[in-house]
Structure 1
């Protein structure tokens, strides 16, 4: 590393630390990496979003920094993995193509030898010595062709094994890209894809489906009081309770920030409300402890909105109704479940139609 490179890297590091100090964000490695990347200017979209936050409020909260880390640093890791696998795949394809090219050249040469031998034999007048030489030459060419075929088979077999490993790695990367890195439940991208597939199936089979939308009550105040790491503990707790209370084809997901969602295929509104109440009570029943000090932090609560699919609903329309129910639960004092049946005006509200 030259002195110039060292000075540039030091400048980026100092800028990152200054931003962390300015925002009062703890200098954990993940936050340092975020602001170091911002200081280098290597990720234009990241810089645009950070600049927008700084322009709006003059600083960045820990929660906003966490969201940026999940969005940009994880994406960067995923792109790097895909890039590496793409390079390996490209090399394997090149190796296979080269092996096939060599085999084709050998096959053409062998074909030419056979044609020449055939011409000599049909021409007649070939003596015993010439026939022996011709047989020896054909035997030699045949053995060379057999060796080439064995090498090609080995190359193709090795490539088949390598491609199988790459396929497994790609599957793992895809699964990873569909999970929220903090809570280890499906993320928003996975939820969007699953909801689309479930709605298509529900419509085709004239079945039913319900959607639960959760919000952790007063989460920002909790985060500000006890810190980001304790806030992460709360998010993981809620995710754990969701997984424990959902069965079969039901799918929980982190919707964004402190919001979670659950898809309940083949579940009508009344059954969905029961599931939502069970989850709400389970979360409220758990007392939080700060791991570092065993300090009791009290309990957290959830507000929940519940909506049921209607013929003609798009995903957006269903989510919007669940969100209105969630908003009503918040407005009614939090820590409660509100469904469409609790809001009779929904029966006359038009919905988006595909």
Structure 2
């Protein structure tokens, strides 16, 4: 973890503990997670609800915190996964029961045939032969009925299992998307970056990383409200996603930070992509939908790094984060690559913060 990321994370933690203390809520792990998530701003729905509670003057309590935790953070993905698993188990059990029933009928039919074989070895009267034929015909029809029922159940099970598989795929896709921006979430990014690193190690091909942060987003959010802030986040996410292609991965890294993983792209190419995204974001004029009020333009700062053989995921991200931090201190709304770090470090900060 870079110094900048450590500082940000520590700030979120301190804010969470301060909220717990001021609200008189016990610092249980789930309540800390609730307010830490609120401090980061990564769950806009949660933030809107808590802000509404604060504005209403409602006295916070452990019961209220528990309700919010269950509603917003207690993962329903696991519940849905369990539901699908239970349905899958029930369907498999039904198939087993149908097969067992068919096996029992088949064994009984086989016994009837063996018995009939023994009867045929004896001299039978015409009446006995007719009775034997009638019995065998009845057994055969019963066997046919059982087979038809088994076919129906197996076909139904095949369709159910196919539907369950689609449900599982949907749950997995949802678990990998950021709920607000509908691009990949942090979990999806972590997995995607590891996959890209393995592929780069194997192919010896280039791999680059872009880390971007919306400039002055907190001030914008405080001035125009969280709903407008959410629109900005969605705008930046879609702009980033529309400027990458192929195996590239766009993800929300956390809060107002986004990241792009660019396999088969060298540092020069990644800088071009970052510049295109930067210009596209700056070119969009924001309009408040409810009032048609012009809110001006937003900008973002970018850090770009390329993978080398000594890197792991953490060191790779940290280098991109240092580039982003340098871009902030160099005046924001610019792209800094790792080759520029020394040059940027020599420029006086002149009181520019990294917000």
What TM-score, normalized to structure 1? Answer: 0.77
- CA separation in 2, counterparts of 1:208 and 1:181? 31
- CA separation in 2, counterparts of 1:95 and 1:309? 52
- CA separation in 2, counterparts of 1:88 and 1:234? 40
Pairing 1:302–2:300 present: yes
Q: Secondary structure at the match of 1:333?
A: coil
Q: Which residue of 1 is the match for residue 144 of structure 2?
A: 146
Matches within 5 A, 1:266-345: 266-344=264-342
Kept in 2: contact 1:67–1:257 (CA 8 A):
no
- CA separation in 2, counterparts of 1:162 and 1:234? 41
- CA separation in 2, counterparts of 1:136 and 1:253? 72
Q: Which residue of 1 is the match for residue 88 of structure 2?
A: 89
Q: Which residue of 2 is the match for residue 252 of structure 1?
A: 250
Deviations 1:91-145 (A, max 9, x none): 22222122122112111111111121222233x2333322222222111111110
Cα distance, 1:281 vs. partner?
1.4
Q: Secondary structure at the match of 2:115?
A: helix
Segments of 5+ residues of structure 2 without an aligned counterpart are 1-18, 20-24, 49-68, 344-355
- CA separation in 2, counterparts of 1:189 and 1:64? 13
What is the number of equivalent residue pairs in this alignment?
Answer: 299
Kept in 2: contact 1:216–1:258 (CA 8 A):
yes
Q: Which residue of 2 is the match for residue 179 of structure 1?
A: 177
- CA separation in 1, counterparts of 2:91 and 2:253? 39
- CA separation in 2, counterparts of 1:331 and 1:136? 95
User: Runs of 4 or more off by more than 6 Å in structure 1?
Assistant: 69-72
> CA 1:96–1:230 in 2, change beyond 3 Å: closer, same or farther?
same
- CA separation in 1, counterparts of 2:98 and 2:285? 65
- CA separation in 2, counterparts of 1:140 and 1:193? 61
Kept in 1: contact 2:34–2:73 (CA 8 A):
no
Q: Secondary structure at the match of 1:289?
A: strand
Kept in 2: contact 1:62–1:228 (CA 8 A):
no
Kept in 1: contact 2:206–2:264 (CA 8 A):
yes
Matches within 5 A, 1:106-185: 106-122=105-121, 124-185=122-183
> CA 1:209–1:89 in 2, change beyond 3 Å: closer, same or farther?
same
Superposed CA RMSD in Å reads 2.7
- CA separation in 2, counterparts of 1:207 and 1:303? 27
Cα distance, 1:319 vs. partner?
0.9
> CA 1:162–1:318 in 2, change beyond 3 Å: closer, same or farther?
same
Kept in 2: contact 1:207–1:266 (CA 8 A):
yes
Which sits farther off after the overlay, 72-81 or 159-168?
72-81
- CA separation in 2, counterparts of 1:67 and 1:266? 37
Larger RCO: Structure 1 or Structure 2 (Cα < 8 Å, ≥ 6 residues apart)? 2
> CA 1:51–1:177 in 2, change beyond 3 Å: closer, same or farther?
closer
